């Protein structure tokens, strides 16, 4: 039995992939130039004609697009088909500001289903399995995106949507879910709630999890795998480009294969806009090759990551991207030092502390302060004050060595930090910097 959904393309040679990308890019650029005014204006300004784009080697000549362009043309200014051809609208979850709206033709939805199905198969899911979808259904792409993939693969989807944790656990037990898809922070919470409810997850058929839509660490993966007794896979996507399934993890779990027949990934130095070598961090930029309704060219995601062309033992030949290390938007600048919430999370989990934490940034006079509040767990602490302050000092020391600046560490009581059913809110910035 093959563990690929579309083996011909998932294991194609680099030459074949690049040839296909070049053909598709030429067509995509011609189309957007004809159909979407903003592309024509930008390309005219830059002195680039569609004929100048002969293949992927010419990609660098094309102007960038950004979230701001989507906001400026809100709601439908960047659509490339008339509304009668649009089968579905979705909107970004608005984590970083005003929402944007995107559209899909029937064909776009089929392709979306295919790329999500590639992930499901890579996670060992077959037609016989039942996939419990606890991502939100609605304008957010998570729920319906995974549903499209399940439908294309032919497995059974259980559209539970997000929320009502007790009900999620009942359904998981009664409907015998084989796999679950939700945000990693919610998966942590489900694991925690299952333990509290006395559910022995090793007795459930659940064996795989498809988790994405927000940053998570390897340590968090271990926690989830342990508490839900599953193998946890990372899936990456963003509304603007498609939704979940832009890149997907295989059983090697060493980076996510980018669906390169539909998207070109570039990793660029955010300042010079030049590509950085494999393994070096930069801003992730995507170009859609086949999207009909809402094709973005050189979209700056503001996500930071790396890419590798190294061969993967799974046999897939698509390049692999790292877990995004955060967004340029998420990056906190504290006393001039760049700090990512993911660095803090790694420290917490390495010390076996609770993954339920919050980062509070404030300004006292001219000095920025950062405080990490983390919940106490029953097994790590006895309740003497001196124990707690010893742990707090140790955590503060570790944070200082990783972040390069001093941070206050505070333990708070278990359960006191709000849980999220979708994306977790980790940072509270009280500095009012606008
Ligand atoms: P919003 O921008 O409103 O959050 P989206 O739901 O489109 O809307 O979010 C996409 C973003 O979510 C990505 O740009 C990325 O920052 C983050 N993301 C998605 N998948 C992952 C993942 N597997 N790991 C880390 N971050 C992810
Ligand atoms: Zn692989």
Question: Residue 323: which residues within 8 A CB-CB, separation 6 or more?
Answer: 215, 216, 217, 234, 236, 255, 256, 305
Confidence of residue 215 (pLDDT cuts 50, 70, 90): confident
Output the CA 423–ligand 1 centroid distance in Å.
Answer: 9
Residue 236 CB less than 6 A away from ligand 1: yes
Tell me the pLDDT tens digit for each residue of 384-411.
777 888 889 999 999 999 988 899 999 9
> Which range scores top for mean pLDDT: 170-179, 268-277, 411-420?
170-179
Q: Which atom of ligand 1 is nearest to the CA of 324?
A: 25
Categorize the per-residue pLDDT at 1 as very low, low, confident or very high, splitting at 50, 70 and 90: very low
Tell me the domains of the chain and their CATH numbers.
1-327 (3.40.50.12780), 332-429 (3.30.300.30)
Protein residue with least CA distance to atom 11, ligand 1: 238
Ligand 1 within 6 A of 267 CB? Answer: no
Ligand 1 nearest-atom number relative to CA 140: 6
150 lines ligand 1 (CB under 6 A): no
Judge contact between 373 and 341, C-beta under 8 A.
no
Ligand 1 atom, smallest distance to 93 CA: 3
DSSP assigned state of 85: G
154 CA from centroid of ligand 1 (Å): 26
CA distance between the termini of the chain: 56
pLDDT tens track for 109-140: 999 999 999 999 999 999 999 999 999 999 99
Residue 358, ligand 1, Cβ within 6 A: no
| Residue 149: half-sphere exposure toward Cβ, Cα within 13 Å | 33
Burial class (CB in 10 A: 0-12, 13-18, 19+), 89: middle
What's the rounded mean pLDDT across residues 141-154?
98
| DSSP symbols for 212-232 | ESS---HHHHHHHHHHHTSEE
Q: Whose C-alpha lies nearest to ligand 1, atom 13?
A: 238
For range 47-74, the mean pLDDT? 96
Global confidence as pTM: 0.86
In three-state secondary structure terms, 37 is helix
Task: Flag whether pLDDT at 419 surpasses 80.
Answer: yes
Please name which ligand lies nearest the alpha carbon of 254.
2
Ligand 1 atom with minimal separation from the 234 CA: 23
By percentage, how much of the chain surpasses pLDDT 70? 97
Ligand 2 centroid to residue 243 C-alpha, Å: 21
The band of 423, judged by pLDDT with boundaries at 50, 70 and 90, is confident
Which of 214, 218, 244 for mutating ligand 1's site (highest number of atoms within 8 Å of CB)?
214
Residue 271, pLDDT above cutoff 50: yes
Nearest atom in ligand 1 to 142's CA: 6
């Amino acid at each position: 039995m093959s563990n690929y959904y579309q083996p011909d393309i998932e294991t194609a040679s680099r030459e074949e992939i690049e040839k296909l990308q070049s053909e598709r890019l030429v067509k995509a650029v011609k189309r957007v130039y004809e159909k979407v005014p903003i592309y024509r204006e930008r390309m005219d300004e830059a002195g680039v004609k569609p004929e100048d784009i002969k293949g992927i080697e010419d990609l660098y000549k094309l102007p960038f697009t950004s979230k701001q362009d989507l906001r400026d043309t809100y709601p439908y200014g960047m659509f490339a088909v008339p509304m009668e051809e649009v089968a579905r609208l979705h909107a970004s979850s608005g984590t970083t500001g005003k929402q944007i709206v995107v559209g899909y033709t029937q064909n776009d939805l089929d392709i979306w289903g295919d790329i999500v199905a590639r992930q499901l198969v890579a996670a060992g899911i077959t037609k016989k399995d039942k996939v419990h979808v606890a991502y939100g259904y609605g304008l957010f792409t998570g729920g319906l995106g995974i549903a499209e993939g399940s439908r294309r693969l032919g497995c059974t989807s259980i559209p539970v949507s997000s929320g009502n944790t007790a009900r999620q656990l009942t359904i998981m037990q009664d409907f015998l879910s084989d796999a679950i898809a939700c945000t990693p922070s919610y998966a942590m919470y489900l694991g925690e709630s299952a333990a509290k409810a006395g559910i022995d997850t090793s007795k459930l058929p659940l064996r795989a999890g498809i988790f994405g839509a927000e940053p998570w660490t390897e340590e968090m993966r271990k926690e989830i795998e342990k508490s839900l007794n599953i193998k946890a896979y990372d899936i990456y996507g963003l509304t603007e480009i498609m939704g979940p399934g832009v890149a997907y993890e295989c059983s090697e779990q060493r980076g996510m294969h980018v669906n390169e027949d539909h998207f070109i990934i570039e990793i660029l130095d955010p300042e010079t806009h030049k590509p950085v070598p494999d393994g070096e961090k930069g801003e992730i930029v995507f170009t859609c090759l086949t999207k009909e309704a809402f094709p973005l060219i050189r979209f700056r995601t503001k996500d930071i990551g790396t890419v590798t062309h190294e061969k993967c033992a799974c046999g897939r030949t698509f390049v692999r991207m790292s877990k995004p290390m955060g967004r340029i938007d998420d990056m906190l600048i504290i006393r001039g030092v760049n700090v990512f919430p993911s660095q803090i999370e790694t420290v917490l989990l390495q010390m076996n502390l609770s993954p339920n934490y919050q980062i509070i940034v404030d300004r006292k006079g001219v000095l920025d302060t950062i405080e990490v509040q983390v919940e106490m767990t029953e097994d790590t602490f006895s309740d003497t004050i001196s124990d707690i302050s010893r742990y707090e000092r140790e955590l503060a020391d570790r944070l200082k060595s990783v972040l390069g600046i001093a941070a206050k560490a505070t333990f708070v009581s278990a359960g006191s930090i709000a849980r999220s059913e979708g994306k977790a809110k980790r940072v509270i910035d009280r500095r009012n910097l606008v």
